[in-house]
C-alpha cells in the first residue's frame, strides 16, 4: 500500500457527485498511487489464467499463480469461476473477451461469461489489527485493489497495466455428467479450460437452507440512482440488486420501524418504513404503506423466510413521530422500562400485530435488535411478549443464556462461544443460529483488501460450528463514491457494501456465494451419508471441516484451507 497523503491529491472531478448520476455507464478507475514496477522484462501483450485467491496489482506485471489452462470440478447446478489476466506494455483500445459455450463432445453445452474486473481505492486495518473506529484517510496507506466485476463489454487498457477478467460458468441442473471443454479468446490468444461435471446436483438458491442475512439499504440505491424514495423508479432501480441478492440465497428482509435506528452511522440514514402519527386527541395512527410495498416487493423476488424489523432500542433512544396538533415532526427520548417507553411502543406493537396478521406475515416477522444492555433487552422482550406471546424476537449480538430461549433468530460474533447443548436445543426447536463478522475482525473478513478466499472461508466455518448461516450488516450501504473509493470514515474499506452501483457484483460477493454453495454441498452429503449409515464418509467429511478454526488463520491462509477442503469435497 502507498501514499498516506494520496487522498488529498485525488482530483475533485473524480470524486464529485457526477459519478453517482451515471452508475450504469463506463467509468475510469482512480489513478494508481503505486509505482509501475516489474515491466522491464515484459514485452507486448500477455494473457493467462491466474489465481482467484490473489488481488493482482494494476501497475505491476503479474508473477504468481499464472497457468496456461484451468481445470475444475463442479456439481450440476453449481456456479464456478476463476480469474484470468491481461497485461501489456502497449496501450490497447476496445479489448473484448470472447467466450463460447463449453462442450462435452456429445451435443451438450454449458454457457460461460467473462467480465472485466475494476480497481477501487482501499485502506487497511488499524495498528491493533481491527478495522473499527473513526479514521482519517490521511492516517492510512491507500492503494487500488481489484474487486468490482464490471458490466461493460469493451475495455481500454493502458500501457504497463494488468487487467483482470472474471470467468464464470453456471452449470445447468440438467447437464449430463462428464467433461466439458471451453476456450477464452482475447485477440489472437486462446486459453483452453475444462470443467468436470459430477453426478451430484446442487438445488437452486431458492431451495438452499443456508440462512444468509445481508442487510439491505434502499436509501443508498435512491441516492445513487437519483430517484425519489419509494417511487416506481426507486423500485425499478432496486429490483436487479435485490434479485442478485435473492439469487445468492438471501433469507431476510431488512425493515425499519423508526427513523435512523443506527444513529446516522451510514452515508444514507435509514428512514422509517412506518409513519407514526400522534393525533390531536392523543391517540396514535400508523401508516404501513411503505413497509407493505417493500416487504411485498422482496417477497415477490423470493426472499421469503424472515422480515426483521429494526429497532425498538436505537443507539440514541430517540423516537420520531408526526404530531398532528403542531403539524410538525418531533421526537421523544425514552429508555426501555420507563413509562414513556411503554406508552410509546405498546400501542404501536398492538396495532402492528393486527396489521401483520391481516397481511399473513406475522409468523415470519421478528422484532430485531442489535447488542444492547441486558436490562434494556429484557425490558424490551418482556414488552413485546406482553403484547402477543407469539411475537418473534431476533438478536445480532452476544450470546446471553438469560434470553437465548426467547430468540427465534440469534446471531453471535465469530469469536463468541455458544455451548454445544444450547445449539443442539435450538436446532430441535427450529430456531435459527448464525454468526456475523464486522469491523472488529481483521481476519476473516470481507473488506476490499481482505484475501478473497476469506469470503468463502466464512461458510466453511459456519458448517464446522454447526451454524445455520452468516450475517453481515451491509449488502449495499454505499459510501459517497463506491465505484472509485471504498473507504469510509468509521470502518475499514469495503465494510459497508458487497456489490457496486450499476448492479455490479464483486470478487468478494462471488467468493461469498462460492462458500454458501460449499455449505449446501456439505449439508447434502452429510444427509446422504447419515441416510446410508456411511460412518466412514461422515468421518471424512468432518475431517475436512475440522481445520476451519479462527486460530488456524494465524498460521495458514484461507486460500490454502479452502483449496484443500474443496478438493476433498469434490472427491465424494
User: What CATH number does residue 166 fall under?
Assistant: 2.60.40.10
Q: Which residues contact 125 (CB under 8 A, 6 or more apart)?
A: 131, 442, 492
Closest C-alpha to 253, from 303, 311, 312: 303
Query: Does residue 524 belong to any structural domain of this protein?
Result: no
- Tens of pLDDT along 187-212? 999 999 999 999 999 999 999 999 99
102: containing domain: 6-200
Distance, in Å, from the CA atom of 120 to the CA atom of 85, rounded to the nearest integer, reads: 17
pLDDT of the residue at 23: 92
140/489: higher pLDDT: 489
Q: Is the pLDDT of residue 387 over 80?
A: yes
Query: Does residue 166 belong to any structural domain of this protein?
Result: yes
Section 143-172 average pLDDT: 98
Query: Does residue 407 belong to any structural domain of this protein?
Result: no
Do the beta carbons of residue 275 and residue 258 sit within 8 Å? no
Query: Does residue 319 belong to any structural domain of this protein?
Result: no
Query: Does residue 334 belong to any structural domain of this protein?
Result: no
pLDDT of the residue at 137: 72
Query: Does residue 291 belong to any structural domain of this protein?
Result: no
- Tens of pLDDT along 277-296? 999 999 999 999 999 999 99
Query: Does residue 116 belong to any structural domain of this protein?
Result: yes
List the grid coordinates of 477: 450501504
pLDDT of the residue at 8: 35
Q: DSSP letters along 338-405, please?
A: SHHHHHHHHHHHHHHHHHHHHHT-GGGEEEEEES--HHHHHHHHHHHHHH-TT-EEEEEE---TTTGG
Banded pLDDT at 547 (limits 50, 70, 90): very high
- Tens of pLDDT along 22-65? 798 999 999 999 988 899 999 999 999 999 999 999 999 999 99
Section 350-366 average pLDDT: 99
pLDDT of the residue at 124: 95
pLDDT of the residue at 138: 74
The domain total for the chain is: 1
Section 303-309 average pLDDT: 99
Q: Is the pLDDT of residue 303 over 70?
A: yes
Q: Is the pLDDT of residue 21 over 70?
A: no
pLDDT of the residue at 2: 33
Cis before 85? omega within 30: no
Section 92-113 average pLDDT: 98
Banded pLDDT at 7 (limits 50, 70, 90): very low
Banded pLDDT at 136 (limits 50, 70, 90): confident
pLDDT of the residue at 141: 78
pLDDT of the residue at 142: 87
pLDDT of the residue at 376: 97
Query: Does residue 140 belong to any structural domain of this protein?
Result: yes
Amino acid at each position: 500500500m502507498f501514499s498516506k497523503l494520496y487522498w488529498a491529491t485525488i482530483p475533485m472531478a473524480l470524486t464529485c457527485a457526477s459519478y453517482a448520476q451515471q452508475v450504469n455507464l463506463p467509468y475510469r478507475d482512480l489513478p494508481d498511487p503505486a509505482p509501475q514496477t516489474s515491466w522491464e522484462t515484459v514485452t507486448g501483450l500477455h494473457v493467462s489464467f491466474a489465481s482467484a485467491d490473489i488481488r493482482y496489482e494494476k501497475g505491476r506485471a503479474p508473477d504468481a499463480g499464472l497457468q496456461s489452462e484451468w481445470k475444475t470440478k463442479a456439481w450440476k447446478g453449481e456456479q464456478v469461476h476463476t480469474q484470468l489476466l491481461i497485461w501489456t506494455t502497449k496501450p490497447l483500445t476496445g479489448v473484448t473477451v470472447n467466450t463460447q459455450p463449453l462442450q462435452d463432445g456429445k451435443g451438450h453445452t454449458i454457457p460461460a461469461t467473462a467480465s472485466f474486473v475494476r480497481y477501487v481505492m482501499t485502506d487497511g486495518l488499524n495498528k491493533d489489527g481491527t478495522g473499527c473506529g473513526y479514521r482519517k484517510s490521511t492516517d492510512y496507506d491507500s492503494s487500488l485493489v481489484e474487486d468490482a466485476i464490471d458490466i461493460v463489454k469493451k475495455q481500454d487498457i493502458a500501457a504497463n497495466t494488468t487487467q483482470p477478467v472474471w470467468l464464470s460458468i453456471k452449470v445447468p441442473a440438467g447437464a449430463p455428467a462428464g467433461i466439458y471443454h471451453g476456450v477464452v479468446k482475447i485477440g489472437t490468444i486462446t486459453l483452453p479450460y475444462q470443467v468436470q461435471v459430477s453426478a451430484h446436483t446442487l438445488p437452486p438458491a431458492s431451495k438452499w437452507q443456508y440462512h444468509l442475512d445481508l442487510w439491505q439499504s434502499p436509501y443508498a440505491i435512491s441516492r445513487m440512482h437519483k430517484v425519489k424514495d419509494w417511487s416506481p423508479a426507486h423500485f425499478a432501480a432496486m429490483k436487479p440488486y435485490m434479485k442478485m441478492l435473492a439469487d445468492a440465497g438471501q433469507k431476510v428482509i431488512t425493515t425499519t420501524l423508526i427513523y435512523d435506528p443506527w444513529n446516522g452511522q451510514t452515508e444514507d440514514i435509514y428512514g422509517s418504513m412506518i409513519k407514526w402519527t400522534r393525533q390531536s386527541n392523543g391517540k396514535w395512527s400508523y401508516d404501513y404503506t411503505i413497509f407493505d410495498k417493500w416487504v411485498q416487493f422482496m417477497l415477490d423476488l423470493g426472499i421469503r423466510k424472515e422480515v426483521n424489523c429494526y429497532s425498538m432500542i436505537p443507539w440514541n433512544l430517540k423516537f420520531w413521530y408526526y404530531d398532528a396538533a403542531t403539524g410538525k415532526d418531533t421526537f421523544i427520548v425514552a429508555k426501555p422500562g420507563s413509562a414513556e417507553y411503554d406508552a410509546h411502543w405498546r400501542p404501536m406493537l398492538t396495532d402492528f400485530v393486527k396489521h401483520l396478521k391481516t397481511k399473513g406475515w406475522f409468523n415470519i416477522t421478528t422484532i430485531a435488535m442489535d447488542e444492547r444492555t441486558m436490562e434494556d433487552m429484557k425490558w424490551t422482550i418482556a414488552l413485546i411478549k406482553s403484547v402477543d406471546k407469539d411475537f418473534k424476537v431476533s438478536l445480532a449480538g452476544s450470546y446471553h443464556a438469560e434470553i437465548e430461549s426467547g430468540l427465534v433468530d440469534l446471531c453471535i460474533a465469530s469469536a463468541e462461544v455458544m455451548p454445544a447443548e444450547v445449539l443442539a436445543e435450538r436446532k430441535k426447536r427450529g430456531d435459527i443460529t448464525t454468526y456475523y463478522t464486522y469491523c472488529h475482525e481483521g481476519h476473516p473478513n470481507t473488506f476490499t483488501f481482505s484475501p478473497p478466499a476469506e469470503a468463502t472461508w466464512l461458510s466453511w466455518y459456519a458448517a464446522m460450528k454447526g451454524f445455520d448461516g452468516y450475517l453481515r450488516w451491509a449488502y449495499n450501504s454505499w459510501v459517497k463514491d463506491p465505484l472509485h473509493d471504498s473507504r469510509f470514515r468509521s470502518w475499514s474499506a469495503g465494510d459497508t457494501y458487497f456489490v457496486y452501483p450499476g448492479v455490479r457484483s464483486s470478487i468478494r460477493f462471488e467468493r461469498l456465494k462460492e462458500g454458501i454453495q460449499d455449505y449446501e454441498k456439505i449439508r447434502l452429503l452429510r444427509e446422504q451419508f447419515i441416510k446410508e449409515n456411511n460412518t466412514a464418509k461422515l468421518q471424512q467429511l468432518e475431517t475436512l471441516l475440522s481445520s476451519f478454526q479462527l486460530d488456524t488463520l494465524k498460521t495458514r491462509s484461507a486460500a490454502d484451507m479452502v483449496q484443500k477442503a474443496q478438493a476433498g469435497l469434490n472427491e465424494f
